[in-house]
Structure 1
Amino acid sequence: MRSLNRVTFVTFVTFVTLCTLALLLPAPAAARDSLGMFSTWGAFRDPAVPRCYALAMAEPSTKQRDYQPYAAIGTWPRREVRGQVHLRLSRKLAPASRIVLTVGRERFELTGGGGDAWAVDRRMDAAIVAAMRSASAMTVSARDAKGGGFSNTWPLTGAATAMDAASIGCVQQR
């Protein structure tokens, strides 16, 4: 029973955090629809764009952060883009920093700048999404603007369901 209470609390905190993040985004955020919460992952639809995405906050940390880190897997049906990986990192990146995402046993070298990282192409997006479906966690590591190393970790429980809900949520959004 204690474990259930902790899971319920973590789910509640994640939901509140995601809702807060949605409120902090630009004005069109008000048009976003929640498609559901799946463990620590949420699925959302923004019919004004249109776009749909699965979103999760990184695990909490007591270390210094420049940004609130999150992972988003997005779909833009009018652009014919599906499963695009975007990571908001906790720190500003050093110029030309090597950004490595580890998903289960697979490693991907991402591209990025500022506090953001992406797959280098659609093929890598697809490989990352496939790896996320069978792994329990993913961790990104890089060097920050001050030269120190840092990492952010996301549990992947619920990620596959949230990604599927986001994809289904955009089927009729063309």
Structure 2
Amino acid sequence: MKAVALLLLLVAGPAAARETIGVYKGWAAFRDPDRCYAIAQPVVAGGAARWRPFASVGNWPAKRLRASLHVRLSRERSRAAPVTLTIGERRFELVGNAVDAWAADAASDRAIVAALRSGRSMSVEAVGASGRPFADSYALSGAATAIDAAVLACAG
């Protein structure tokens, strides 16, 4: 229950602007005026950040984006270092800026979401701006249900 409360704080903002679709173990699904998304916070964060790290899979109907990954890292990364997402035996290279990372293209998004659906955990690894490596780890229990709930919420 503590994790659910923290998850709800993670996406805190104007209550009228966001509708809770549901909470599914460590993942939750929300709808706001522009998008629907599934979101989780790491069970282990690689650093004490000034912001809350998260992983989300979002749908933006007006932009025709569906099941698009976005990760907010737990600390600022070195821009010279890659960001690697690992789910089971699968590894994906992400693109992004100092604190955010995304799949490189729609095909990568589809492969990542397929891996999320069948995986038990995922980690996002990078090298911090200080030069020290770090990893943020996520449990995937509830991810598939939250992703489906977000897709369905934006379908209508």
Pairwise TM-score range, normalised by the shorter structure: over 0.9
Aligned residue in 1 for 2:80: 96
Aligned residue in 2 for 1:18: 7
**Number of equivalent positions:** 156
Query: Once the 2 structures are TM-superposed, how far is the Cα of residue 99 of structure 1 from its aligned partner?
Result: 0.7
CA contact (8 A) 2:45 2:135 kept: no
Aligned residue in 2 for 1:40: 26
CA contact (8 A) 2:70 2:102 kept: yes
Query: Once the 2 structures are TM-superposed, how far is the Cα of residue 16 of structure 1 from its aligned partner?
Result: 1.1
- Unaligned segments of structure 1, at least 5 residues: 1-11
| Aligned partner (choices 129, 133, 140) of residue 149 of structure 1 | 133
CA contact (8 A) 1:70 1:88 kept: yes
Distance 2:46 2:139 in 1: 17
Which residue identity does 1:17 align to in structure 2? L
TM-score (normalised: structure 2):
0.94
Rg larger for: 1
- Unaligned segments of structure 2, at least 5 residues: none
What is the root-mean-square deviation of aligned Cα atoms in Å?
Answer: 1.5
Aligned residue in 1 for 2:57: 73
Query: Once the 2 structures are TM-superposed, how far is the Cα of residue 159 of structure 1 from its aligned partner?
Result: 0.2
State the identity %: 42
After TM superposition, what 4+ stretches of structure 1 lie above 4 angstroms from structure 2? Answer: none
Q: Does 1:57 align with 2:41?
A: yes
TM-score (normalised: structure 1):
0.84
Q: If each structure's helix is expressed as a fraction of its own residues, which one has the higher value? A: 1
Query: Once the 2 structures are TM-superposed, how far is the Cα of residue 61 of structure 1 from its aligned partner?
Result: 4.6
CA contact (8 A) 2:46 2:136 kept: no
